[in-house]
Amino acid sequence: MDLDPLFAPGNMAVIGVSSGNDRHPANVIFFKNHLRYPLDVYAVNPKGGMLHGEKIYKQVSEIPEKVDLAVIAVRAEMAPDVISDCIRSGVRSGVVISGGFAEVGNIDLQDRIAALAQEASFPFIGPNCLGIYVPRRVDSFFLPIERMVKPEPGNVALVSQSGGILVDLMIKFAEERIGLSRAVSIGNKAVLNELDLLDYFAQDPMTQVLAFYIEGFGKDEGRRFVLDARKCPKPVIVLKSGKSPAGKKAVSSHTASLAGDYQSFSAALAQHGVVEAENELELVSFCESLGAYQRFIDGRIGIITGSGGHGAIAVDACSKRGLTVPAVSISDQDQIREILSENIQHIASINNPVDLTGSGVDEDFVATAQKLFALNEIDCVIVLLLPYLPGITSDIGSKLSSVSRQSGKPLVAYVPHVDKYDMLIEGFELNGVPVSPSIEGAVLMATALRRNKPC
């Protein structure tokens, strides 16, 4: 099946619009795309009529051009006839927003629309979903535009069985300034599932990292997913729910999926080099880190800080995550001390972590980073930057990013995320260096690089 019309449609038909209720999900979808996105949008309802000056077509076959994407928001029992009309009319892809299928026991109805689509090679997302969001291109979410939080365009694709989890992750992406290539809420995944989207995004030039929220799989799908993820040339991150008996029950009632044996699935992910996130915090941190660096490290971390307490917390976090913080030799310590500003040479703690104290200046951080990056026993540096230190400037992020780029080794930064420090944070982010608002998050970013292990 050709999935290009889903993610790069030239036009869209929204089926199920109401001429008298602008809050209807189909109306929300119609107007946000008609007014804000670069594609032609057609309204469809069997009753016909007008919608604020726009013609409502009685069926898709009346639309004067072949439709790339049909968004279907009708009652569940109407879906087979609507999908049949789409197929007869040559519609190239679809999103079935409607609920009322397998998730509430209507398995036969879901099987019926799936059989229609499979026989005609008609790809659709859903049912019981939000559908697709492509920044600045198309949005099938039935969420009012003023309530949506939209990340900037980027290189991470999100695929989620849950629409609510997907929207939450998009909010977190926006907060952390992680760029999004595509977002897909697959719901009951009657036709297209994680395997199809994994294969598609593996070839998608706009996507460099694939992240999945998975509730469960059909028979044999879990094994196939792991094997396909292993072959994917891009990092694949998985967050799985249904880990506990109660969680499995919740999964089944949500999208009628089988949660399966979590322990076996988790072990298979680790064995095949697929990055598993334990929770949403890890998923977001992993996406930001692997979006910046699609590489593997052994996990030997150098830490630079302006506060001994921050350094100690970072070391504990590294130890908990299986990262090492190698000691710096006495001769290397002496070399670092010699290049520091005179006022901190005798008060800085030169080991690993390197504590430059609250009196450190830009040049101290830069010189220390150059030295740590040059050490064979260090393959990643975490800098814990306290932007309120009097000796550092708003250029520190750009300066340290340049050092990382020259070394060829990854840099991860911790900076508190408040508006006052935006310019400093941007110095890192504009140069492709991931920044976390917490020490734990920065360590998680380094952890992702270690878990992204080639097989």
Local structure of residue 219 (DSSP, 8 states): T
Query: What is the full DSSP assignment across 79-111?
Result: HHHHHHHHHHTT---EEE----SGGGT-HHHHH
DSSP 3-state of 187:
coil
pLDDT tens digits, one per residue of 343-398: 999 999 999 999 999 999 999 999 999 999 999 999 999 999 999 999 999 999 99
Residue 259: the pLDDT is: 53
Residue 257: the pLDDT is: 55
CA dist., res. 85 & res. 80, Å (int)? 9
CA dist., res. 215 & res. 57, Å (int)? 38
* Bridging pattern class, strands 349-350 and 354-355: antiparallel
Q: What is the residue whose two structure tokens read 């917390």? A: 313
DSSP 3-state of 130:
coil
CA angle 124, 127, 131 (to 5 degrees): 65
Residue 242: the pLDDT is: 81
CA dist., res. 21 & res. 26, Å (int)? 10
Residue 244: the pLDDT is: 60
* Bridging pattern class, strands 50-51 and 209-214: unpaired
CA dist., res. 429 & res. 50, Å (int)? 47
Q: Residue 390: is the preceding peptide bond cis (ω within 30°)?
A: no
Residue 254: the pLDDT is: 46
Torsion angle of C-alpha atoms 342, 344, 349, 355, degrees rounded to 10: -120
Identify the structural domains of the chain with CATH numbers, from first to last. 1-128 (3.40.50.720), 149-292 (3.40.50.261), 295-451 (3.40.50.261)
Residue 126: the pLDDT is: 97
CA dist., res. 436 & res. 167, Å (int)? 20
**Contact present, 301 and 317 (Cβ < 8 Å):** no
Percentage of the residues of the chain whose pLDDT score is greater than 70:
96
Residue 175: the pLDDT is: 93
- List of the chain residues with pLDDT < 50: 254-255
Beta-carbon contacts of 245 under 8 Å, excluding residues fewer than 6 positions away, are: none
| Helix locations, 272-393, DSSP H | 280-292, 308-320, 330-339, 362-374
Instruction: Find, among 345, 414, 355, the residue nearest to 386 by Cα.
Output: 414
